[in-house]
Structure formats: C-alpha cells, structure tokens
Amino acid sequence: MEVIKAEDLTVEYYGSHFFLKGVNLSIKEGEIVLLTGPSASGKTMLLYCLSGIIPHCINVKTYEGSVHINGSEVRKTKFADITKVCGYVLQNPTSQIFGMSVEEDMVFGLENFGIERDEIQKRLDETLRFINLEKYREANPLLLSGGEKQRVVIGSMLVTRPRIIFLDEPTSNLDPRGTKEVLSLLEKLKETKKTIILVERKIEHIVPFVDRVIALDNGKIVSDSEPRKFFADQDLVKKLGVNPPQVIRLAYKLIEQGINIRDLPMSVQELYSMLLEQRGCLNAKNH
C-alpha cells in the first residue's frame, strides 16, 4: 500500500540556492528509506516536503507538483491532521524537548491532541519501556546524555503512535555510545513495521537497516534502489561524495583484485561468509 507519493515536485527556498527539481517517488507501507547525497543536494528539503514540514512550517518561494500522504495532498491538509499520522525526529535534541521531566515531555504531544488521561498513562508506560528509559521517568531530559536525550525525543514522537516516521540526521550530534543507543532503538522500530524515512550521514551502521536508498544530486533523484544496487554503482557513489561503509569499500578493492563478489556485503558477517566461501572454493580447486 502506497503511503507517500511525490509527483513532479519542484521546490525552491527563498534567498538561497537550495531546490528540488521534478522529484517523483512512491513509498510503500513498512519501507525503510534512506535519503542521501552531498551537501545541498536537497535531501533534507525532500524529507521536509515528504513530511509536510514544507510548506506548513517553512515557507518556500516555489512549490510545484504535489506530495500525498495516505492519499491526501499535503498542501491541502491541515498540518495538525498530518501530525496525527506522522512522527518527527530532527537533529538537535535540545530544541525538541519541552518538558522539565521525561514524562512531562512525552505527554506534551498527547495533551495537544486532547487524548484522555487514562490513555495517556497507558501509552506513557508502554513507550517508556520501549525506549528503555523507565528509570529516568522523572529526570530532567536536558541533563541526560546526548543518546538518552535523543531517545526521549523518539519516545515523545512514538507516544502519538505515528504510522510514518521522519528522521533528520538523528545521530549527527551524538557520540559513539549515543549513536549506538539510537540505532538499536531504530532496529526495534523496524520490527513494528512502521514506514521510516531518514536522512543520515553515518551510513556505516544504517546500511544493513534500510530497504531502499534514494540518492539526490543538485535537487534531482539520481538513484533509487536497494542498498546493494546503489553501492554497486561505484562511479555514482564517488561522484556523490558518499563514503560507503568499510566492508563495501573493501569489497570494491577485492573486486579489483579479481575476487569474485556477487553481491556487495552489507555487514562484517556477510563479507566474512563470502570470504570463507571464496577460500573454500579456492581450496577445493587446489586439491
């Protein structure tokens, strides 16, 4: 079932050179999509358009074409209705936290939707368990670590039970521990079959987690395929200035050396198995 559709989307910001040109795409329920590309390629802009942040929260000079979420055109739908189905996590946790305690922050969205107190209580308990922050229930979120803060933001987003989740570089400001915490939370989210669309730079860990990579360059989509196929196009990857995970770069080198690699490995485990297989074949040949 299609949840998001963009048709001929052409958008331009005021006073800068950022733009999108003629973007067409379709995202199905449960897909996990990574938007990537060099700086100023329009990936964040696209995320904002697909999620309704453009045009509702950010004014733009030009907006042509359309974006539909669950069949309703974004421009013609009230943003409050869009936020009922969509959840958002942006880069800087501090500007997304409104409560003096974790629970205060998490109930903010539910209160705004007029949800009944009992229901709020139920969802609060459930989500605190999910994000594994039960012991910080009454803690001041601004005093928590970066990873914990971002988990609070994710929790506050999850309580409203969105079906589509948009993440804008959720780990860009985090240290290694925080990045791991957030990524494992995303892994858990994958199991809930929600549709997830994210922009992320630290692609090394993200790559095994996504179904689809959409690459932008200069406002246009230049690639839209599953990760293995995307990385297989070495020239494109280089042109976009994307730094693939080490195992993929290693695979490139091995291919150069003449080793037969059918599909690019997405993780250390995969490359390990591939190499053993290769060695096995070689040994078999030599005997």
Of 209-228, which residues contact other proteins (CB under 8 A)?
A: none
Q: What backbone torsions phi and psi does residue 242 show, to the nearest 5 degrees?
A: -85, 135
Residue closer to other proteins by CB (options 9, 97) is 97
In the complex, the smallest distance separating the C-beta of residue 121 from other proteins, rounded to whole angstroms, is 8
Residue 29 interacting with other proteins (CB under 8 A): no
Rounded distance, CA 20 to CA 31, Å?
Answer: 22
164-168 vs 195-199, strand pairing mode: parallel
Judged by CB under 8 A, the stretch of 24-32, 188-196, 221-229, 246-254 that binds other proteins is 246-254
CA 214 to chain centre: 11
Q: Among 241, 260, 263, 277, indicate the residue that binds other proteins (CB under 8 A).
A: 241
Amino acid at residue number 223: S
Give the relative orientation of helices 117-130 and 146-158 as an angle to the nearest 10 degrees.
140
**Distance, C-alpha 222 to centroid of its chain:** 18
By the rule CB under 8 A, 187 interacts with other proteins: no
Q: Does 27 sit near other proteins (CB under 8 A)?
A: no
Which token pair is 250? 């290693």
Of 125, 259, 260, 280, which lies in the binding site for other proteins, with binding defined by CB under 8 A?
A: 259
Which segment (5-13, 38-46, 125-133, 186-194) binds other proteins by CB under 8 A?
38-46
CB of 111 to other proteins, least distance (A): 5
Strands 32-36 and 220-225 turn out to be unpaired
Q: How far apart are CA 22 and CA 219, in angstroms?
A: 8
User: 164 by DSSP, 3-state: which?
Assistant: strand
Give the interface segment with other proteins, choosing from 26-34, 67-75, 192-200, 245-253 (CB under 8 A): 245-253
Phi, psi for residue 106 in degrees, rounded to 5: -70, -30
Number of chain positions touching other proteins (CB under 8 A): 74
Taking CB under 8 A as the criterion, the residue among 134, 176, 187, 277 binding other proteins is: 176
* 98 belongs to the binding site for other proteins (CB under 8 A): yes
Which of positions 136-175 make contact with other proteins (CB under 8 A)?
140, 145-146, 156, 160, 169, 172-175
Which among 19-27, 99-107, 189-197, 208-216 is the span making contact with other proteins, rule CB under 8 A? 99-107
Query: Of 3-11, 65-73, 215-223, 252-260, which segment contacts other proteins by CB under 8 A?
Result: 252-260
Q: Is 53 in the site for other proteins (CB under 8 A)?
A: yes
3-state secondary structure of 216: strand
Binds other proteins by CB under 8 A, chosen from 13, 229, 249, 261:
249
211 φ/ψ angles, rounded to the nearest 5 degrees? -90, -25
Nearest-angstrom CA–CA distance, 42 and 21: 9
Tokens at residue 84, please?
């009922």
Q: Kindly tell me which residue out of 1, 95, 135, 262 binds other proteins, with binding defined by CB under 8 A.
A: 95
